[in-house]
Structure 1
Amino acid sequence: MSIHAKKASDFISNEERTNWHDGALWHVRNKRDISASKIPEWELLRSTASQIKENVLSNLDNYLIQFEEEAKKNGVHVHWAANDDEHNSIVSAILNKHNAKKVVKSKSMLTEECGLNHFLEDQGIEIIDTDLGERIIQLRDEPPSHIVLPAIHIKKEEVGELFHAKLGTEKGNADPTYLTRAARTHLNHKFFEADAAITGVNFAIAETGGIVICTNEGNADMGCHSAPVHIHCMGLEKLLPKAEHLGVFIRLLARSATGQPSTIYTSHYHKPESGKEMHIVIVDNGRSEQLGKEDFRNSLKCIRCGACMNTCPIYRRSGGHSYHATIPGPIGAILQPNRNLQEYSDLPFASTLCGSCSDVCPVKINIHEQLYKWRQEIYKHNELPKSKIIPLKVTTNILASSTMYNIMGKLARTSLKLLPDFLLYNKLNTWGKNRELPAPPKESFKEWYKKNKHE
């Protein structure tokens, strides 16, 4: 059993949670549909965004150079990291230079990808996630299960128990307003004590050297305005050519993510305040390699809205942690194999290939096609387990022969009628683990058609 299958099985064992998780995410997907339907030019926006990103990926080297030059003109320190280790070392060096021991961080999937929190904690630096969902999972010492809704798998009653244990709130009080106020009081102290602030980057503008951060809680702004040093960590694919292009993506991002017209805060950072320092760390970490793969380069258009997760029938019913990766869901299943094909070879198979992910993607990434392509790559690189290879080879031989197909079809129909349940429902029949096999038809379609084709 693959890692995803095992973790998914563990998640599904709690049927109440599975149904609740499924319903909550489908509600978000429905909000996306309603919001998108109110924009007559929605499909034009998607096409335009995809084309802008295509231009970026085709001219990435030039835009990166331009961005660095403009950022430096603004008094920003620009750093380059080839991988996660370099990223963490650069951030650590900046903090050590300023003797920063207390750090606040807004949502950043890149820093999650690089394992920054644990890296800094091992050095004796306190790093506090200030996004409410991120803070909840940090207190639980677990990774996010969704890139926009990191604590979507947790119920309010569990948050109440967690806050009682960690923050001293009233025992048994699970009122969302009460818990949110308790979190705000707790985090406000952290903001005022912070020696430095770290953020992610939603968009970076090559033309201006500025960055844009989108939040609903204003926590990125709180951190940057209160701390003397702020560090912005971005993947090199986050670039847009010009400021005028930003409007296209702002209209798409929040609607695709949560159904909102826009995030509550869309903050622009171009240069540090007087007496403060601003750093931008540009990270590769496998992105250049993905860019060089023609079949998969489109995945770098992703703006991290999470729409593909909200619609995916597999993700909704298996939970984000089943993907054992920083970025879960359909988009994670095409990004992660690039980083480590052997470790993540199970993820492209966590899909029905229904195409719903591609249908909702705001930048028109052909996600389901890339999932199918990864399956072929996994087979070519001999990373497919024998439990899949052998049945596929047998099935190939059956489907390649009309005679063999007819014989096996008749054998299967007869077996389903005559064999006892203990032979039909066993460990070899994964499909029948939680479902009964359908009643076999009396005859195949070919047999029926041969008898009735002249009627």
Structure 2
Amino acid sequence: MSDFGDRVDLALADPILKIAVERTAGTAEAKRALAVDAFPDFEDARDRAAAIKDHVIAHLGAYLEEFEANAIAAGAQVHWARTSDEACKIVIDICKAAGARTVARSKSMLGEEIGLPHALAEAGIERVETDLAEHIIQLADERPSHIIWPAMHKTREQVSLLFKARHRSPHQEETIAAMAESARRELRTQMLGADVGISGANFLIADTGAVCTVTNEGNAELSLVPPRVHIVTAGIEKIVPSMPHAVHLLRMLARSATGAALTQYTTFYTGPRRPGDRDGPEQMHIVLVDNGRTTMREEGLAEMLRCIRCGACMNHCVVFRQIGGHAYGGTYPGPMGAVLTPVLDGLPKSRELPNACTLNGKCQEVCPVRIPLPTLLRGWREKSWREGLEPKTMRAGLGVWAWFARRPALYRLASGSALRAMRVLGRGWIRRLPLAGGWTDHRDMPAPEARSFMAQYKSGRRR
């Protein structure tokens, strides 16, 4: 369904989804808190991380040219793509030139952003998702619901049923270990037999031309070292000046994403296999993708380019925790998605996402690179209003509210009447409220106090 309201209603009516999301996001929130408490200079580290990203964004062209020169010197081939279609065409052309029938793909949100899975399918190239969660998503024919845990919307019970239906040698015991072993049997042979390996990149190191990947399962290494050809697809904002800068951001990424001091597998690739190397691909291609990033830098969204894709903003988002990732409808869910989707899909198609935010500021509070997400979301709201994208009913309703707000006596009379009416409608909790079905369809509303806040405030001052 394309309508945001319909997707939200579907998500809120799914009790299993709430359990699945809360299991993972709640655990991530708790682990991050412990990791931050054990990092006494974390706030200073956030400042430095933001400064690193801002410096790179301000000098993006110079660092990209430096990276290109060093990557080519190391034996890699560098390609440039302005749009998602251009990026997909470059990847497909490389695969066809290599005679690839199968590709092993390591988890990459950039790949999802540009529509690479669909492009590979249309080209008749079999895709093997090597990340366990992405493998689950591929079997279920779904999109990722989180940028770190793509299958967080599924319970282990649902995954068990999926594996039994789709694996050639499914698990016999209902344990996580047994299900993981079933996936390993299914994937290992396909990984090692792939003609081409495709990955994303967490960071691109300008002064060496190296590519950094971060995984929890080692799937990047298994899917990218054995194939003859390795293709990297990366957004141009992934660039960092040097290894020390990358290491600093890695410390922020792991703690913010999973609560770990460092992710299990952090690997740096510099060019293809050289004489004397025991393994590695014969060719390495790096596809640098713009896809709206230059426009973001020029049109007031440069701070969003700081994002290191940790997922902390969505793990702490009260809206995401209720509706999950698929309700957002785009590649990126949560607060970051509410900022990025209007860039990628256009504001007319996604104006409801910025409006769904409560602006409580928790996302900014936990962001490791201090992205002012609420400010950016308000910017989209203002633009939507200026361009007349809001429904006529909303504009009329706000006009009525503004008329009353400019007349304090009438406003107090109307709000007092509304308070009394709401108390009549419910004893303690309101289950149904006219014109407010969005609030009461899936939850009860606490009945208000007998007097408004201003009335109570004035009474307290008199005392």
TM-score range, shorter chain: over 0.9
Aligned match of 1:379: 385
Of the candidates 362, 384, 387, which is equivalent to residue 356 of structure 1? 362
Amino acid at match of 2:286: I
TM-fit CA distance, 1:428: 4.5
Query: 5+ residue gaps in structure 1?
Result: none
Alignment of 1:236-385 (within 5 A): 236-274=236-274, 276-294=282-300, 296-339=301-344, 340-385=346-391
The secondary structure found in structure 1 opposite 2:286 is strand
Listed as ranges, the matches of 1:156-235 within 5 Å are 156-170=156-170, 173-235=173-235
Cα offset, 1:390, TM superposition:
2.0
- Normalised to the residue count of structure 1, the TM-score between the two structures is 0.95
Q: How far apart, in 2, do the equivalents of 1:220 and 1:203 lie?
A: 14
Q: Show the counterpart of 2:140.
A: 140
Letter in 2 for 1:94: I
Normalising by structure 2, report the TM-score. 0.93
CA distance in 2 between partners of 1:136 and 1:454 (Å): 63
Letter in 2 for 1:364: R
Greater alpha carbon shift after TM alignment, 202-211 vs 394-403: 394-403
Letter in 2 for 1:357: C
User: Residue 168 of structure 2 contacts residue 186 of structure 2 at CA under 8 Å; is this kept in 1?
Assistant: no
**Whole-angstrom CA distance in 2 between matches of 1:10 and 1:162:** 21
Q: 1:394 to 1:192 in 2, by over 3 A?
A: same
Contact 2:431-2:443 within 8 A present in 1 as well: no
Change (3 A) 1:169 1:8: farther
Deviates more, 1:190-199 or 1:401-410: 401-410
Contact 2:133 2:150 in 1 (8 A): yes
Map of 2:438 onto structure 1? 430
Shift of residue 403, structure 1, vs aligned partner: 2.0
Tell me how far 1:72 sits from its aligned partner.
0.8
Deviations 1:276-317 (A, max 9, x none): 0000000000111111122x2100110001001111010011
User: 1:40 Cα deviation (Å)?
Assistant: 1.0
| In 2: Cα distance, 1:360 partner to 1:187 partner | 36
1:260 offset after TM fit, Å? 1.1
Q: 1:61-112 CA distances to partner (integer Å, 9 max, x unpaired)?
A: 1111111111111111000000010001000110111111110000110110
Alpha carbons of structure 1 residues 49 and 425: separation in structure 2 relative to 1, 3 Å: same
Question: Which residue pairs with 2:85 in the alignment?
Answer: 85
Contact 1:230-1:279 within 8 A present in 2 as well? yes
Aligned mates of 2:381, 2:439 — CA distance in 1? 20
Structure 1 position 453, deviation (Å): 4.6
**Deviation (angstroms), 1:406:** 1.6
Structure 1 pair 222–453 and aligned structure 2 pair: CA distance change class (3 A):
closer
Contact 1:161–1:171, Cα closer than 8 Å, also in 2: no
Question: Once the 2 structures are TM-superposed, how far is the Cα of residue 17 of structure 1 from its aligned partner?
Answer: 3.3
Whether contact under 8 Å (2:20, 2:154) holds in the other structure is no
CA shift in 2, pair 1:92/1:443, >3 Å: closer
**Structure 1 stretch 9-18 or stretch 342-351: which is displaced more?**
9-18
1:172-222 C-alpha deviation (Å, 9 max, x unpaired): 743211110111111111122110100000000111111100111111111
RMSD: 2.2
Aligned residue type for 1:372: R
* C-alpha contact (below 8 Å) 1:160/1:172 kept by paired residues: no
- SS in structure 2 opposite 1:226? coil
Per the TM alignment, residue 21 of structure 1 is displaced from its structure 2 partner at its CA by 1.9
Give distance in 1, aligned partners of 2:100 and 2:444: 60
Moved more, 375-384 or 317-326: 375-384
1:377 deviates by: 1.1
Q: For the Cα contact (< 8 Å) 1:156–1:174, is it kept in 2?
A: no
Gap runs ≥5 in structure 2: 275-280
The one-letter code matched in structure 1 to 2:194 is A
| Contact 1:2-1:346 at 8 Å conserved across structures | no
